[in-house]
Amino acid sequence: MSSVANDLGESPCWDPDARRLYWIDAWRSEVHALDPATRETSCTALAPALAGLPIGSIARHADGGLVSGVKGGFYHLDLERRAARLIAAVETDRPATNRLNDGKCDRAGRFWCASVNTDHRTPSGSLWRLEQGKAPVRMEDGLTVGNGIAWSPDDRRLYLADTLTATVWQYEFDIASGALANRRLFLSTAHIRGFVDGATVDADGCYWAALFRGGAVAQFDPDGKLMRHVRLPVSNPTMCAFGGPGLDVLYVTSASRFLDAAQLRDQPLAGRLFAIEGLGAHGIAEPRFGA
């Protein structure tokens, strides 16, 4: 567990080459890094480079640094220089309350990112696909809080959550073209405490989801059946990802942003990064953008 207390921790991403875990503090426009071997952490402040725009998600970039979904567009983040370069602007025609949110790369090196309307009511969000050297493509529309992006191990299914609708969808996915088809219900959290926020898939095809407002991480089998419910000492976990040299540690980010003073007193670990070991599950290495 990291001692860093985030406002809105998000987007944990394991780098197997550096053997470090990266994650963001979204509204502070910061990228954090953890070396699990030494337990040392570092923070790269990118608010000046991004003019204060919040970061929604990150993934490793084939040219070094990170690709990111940011309010208003996709950026290449250079952590060493604390610099940000705009790759492509998106959603300039959408409400000012829209921003890019959950995102990650498919195994063909494309970056997928879903947006959110931060009023948490208006379905003006989209699912975007970004391929290096090409313009972003809107793949889905009508989302309120786009989240939970992940792929099955055989690359035949893509998962997408619309958090506050208590719904996770699955699509048929073509890894060669990046096309989606046949959207259908994967699971509903209507009868589970909490809502699916960020998620990942393990090597056995199980879907692991951080349950925002539910204080837990849940494991669902490939048919969407709840298998395991792992409690956390915070009510708002935000995203989970496997990391560590064996990809057998589940790292979970969390938020303190949405808690009142009494809740913050009751949850002194809110906003921390958690590491869950001994689950008996293994993740799949996350690809780089453009690789």
Specify the 3-state DSSP secondary structure of 47. coil
Q: What is the mean pLDDT of the chain?
A: 96
Q: Round to whole Å and give the CA distance between 278 and 205.
A: 18
pLDDT at 102: 98
What domains appear along the chain, each with residue ranges and CATH number?
A: 9-276 (2.120.10.30)
Catalytic residues: 197
The residue among 57, 44, 70 whose CA lies nearest residue 10 is: 57
Q: What is the pLDDT of residues 85-105, one digit of tens each?
A: 999 999 999 999 999 999 999
Kindly tell me if the per-residue pLDDT of 2 is higher than 70: no
The two beta strands, 66-70 and 237-243, are unpaired
With left for phi above 0 and alpha for psi between -120 and 50, is residue 3 left, alpha or beta?
alpha
Which pair of structure tokens corresponds to residue 189? 């959290």
**In the structure, what pLDDT confidence band is assigned to residue 1 with cuts at 50, 70 and 90?**
low
pTM: 0.96
Alpha helices in the chain (DSSP H): 261-266
CB-CB neighbours of 176 under 10 Å: 7
Q: How many CB atoms lie within 10 A of CB 26?
A: 25
Tokens linked to 275:
């590491």
pLDDT of residue 291: 81
Per the CB < 8 A criterion, the answer to whether 14 and 251 are in contact is yes
227 contact partners, CB below 8 Å, separation of at least 6: 206, 219, 220, 221
The predicted-structure confidence for 205-240, as pLDDT tens digits, reads as follows: 999 999 999 999 999 999 999 999 999 999 999 999
Tens-digit pLDDT profile for residues 174-205: 999 999 999 999 999 999 999 999 999 999 99
> Residue 278 and residue 261: Cα distance in Å, rounded?
34
